Each structure stands twice: as structure tokens, then as C-alpha cells.
A and B are shown apart, each in its own frame.
Chain A
Amino acid sequence: MIKAEQKPIEEILTYLDPYKKILLSGCGACVTVCHAGGEKEVSLLASSLKMARNLTGKPLEIQEITPARQCEPEFAEELAEKAEGVEAVLSLSCGVGVQTLARSLTKTPVIPGVNTVFMGETVSHGVWEERCQACGNCLLERTGGVCPIARCSKQLLNGPCGGSSKGKCEIRQETDCAWQLIYDRLKSLGQLDKLREVIPAKNWGTESRDKGPRRIVREDLKI
């Protein structure tokens, strides 16, 4: 899922400085799972913000809400209605949610309260790691289920580079070398011959993120 982390509270306070009454909106989907913007985090942040603003003598009134999602027009419109009468919305949803909401709120600023960081996996409780970069043409079939675009620091398709040492990437000890993982996996699958072929240059510009903002259309689903 999408993984995010809350912005430092000092930064959020700077954004909220001009306002006296806001709606603080969490999201019940991805940011709940990674403990960045779910209902609990909304309550905690609201309490912290109220106390912080009280201490500076500029009280802040906060309405709290955590819809199931913010990234669908129906939810965003419903949320927009709840935003009547506030000066700004502080949204703890990912960047997608913030933008979807902003589209429905032409007169009220929508402020992001989290940094959307990556698409990833829960490694263990409280630890999340990047796994996918939406390259647009999934090649996991030939790399034993380990993605070199998301997990190789240099996005090599014919790795590993000469900096792979004892299963770790040259850039830091904590980072696994994706190509060592790919090698080990293909070896256990008996598919090492897949590594013998040269994978040609990626079509970043026609299949991937460098073709501009992307779009998927399902004609059969359009109403």
C-alpha cells in the first residue's frame, strides 16, 4: 500500500498559523495501516495542536473526522460538505487524497499533514519498506519476485554492480542488494538461466513514469 509519515509538528503549525478553525481529516485506508493518518493519529495530532496553540495564546478549534477514503470523488465531496465553516482542512491522507479533496474545495485551502513516501510492504510492526515504484511494466516474472527498479539503488536491470558486497548495497549497510536477493530467489526456483539474458533498456518514456502523468481508462466501466 501507500506508505506515509506524519510531517513534523513544527511544520504543520507553520502552515496552520493563519487559521483559527480547521477540519482535521484522517483517512481510513493506507495511512491508517502505516499509522500516519488514521483515526488514532487524528485524535493525537488534534490534542497536540490544540495544546501547542493554547500555549502561544492563539487557540485553534479543530473538528476531527476520519472518512473511509479520501481518494474517491464521492468521499471527497462528502468531506467537502463537512468543511463548510472552517478556514482550512488539514488532511492526513496521502498526496492523492489531498489533491482529490482540493478539487472539491475551491475556496478552502487543503493542507497536507503527511509526507507520502512510497509504495511498500509491512516488514514487521512499525517497519515499512519500499517495494514498488509503479514503473508501468512489471518484470517480476524474470526477477523471481524481487523488483530491481524499486529495490536496486541504481535501478539496474542487469545487475548487480560491483558494489554489491555480502548481500548489501554499497550505499548503506542496512540496505539489501536487490540483485543478491534476485539471484538467491532465482537459484531456489531453479531459474538462474533467466539471469543469463541481457534485459534491454527500459522504455521509461512510453511505458513508465517519464511519459508524463499517466492515466488508465476502462471503457467497459465508464458510465
Chain B
Amino acid sequence: MSEVALRCDGCGKPVDEGDHTRCRERRAKTDPPRYCVECGRKMVVQVLPMGWEAHCLTCSPK
């Protein structure tokens, strides 16, 4: 993956387009990442009691 996020991990849209304030708020408070920062597709996310795991089927398949 590139070091610079191209896509918002909260909504999947390009980080330099639109307002991602709500995405950042949700990520800071209650949400794990949901979208791949490389391709913007929905990631497979498993929330666990003590953590979470997320991966993109396209960019970081298990």
C-alpha cells in the first residue's frame, strides 16, 4: 500500500474531494476503518471485543 491515503477509510471517497469531517469524527469515536485507503472499496472488517481486523479483498487479501 502507498503511504499516503488516497481514499477516506470512513466513506471510500477520494480524500481530496468533499468534506470528511463526519468520517473523521466517527473514526475517532466509534468506528473502525471501513474502506480501503488505496482503492476505496469496502473492506472486510471483523470487530472483536478487544480489537478489530480489517483487510481489502483487492489490495490486501488474506
Q: Do A and B originate from a single complex?
A: no
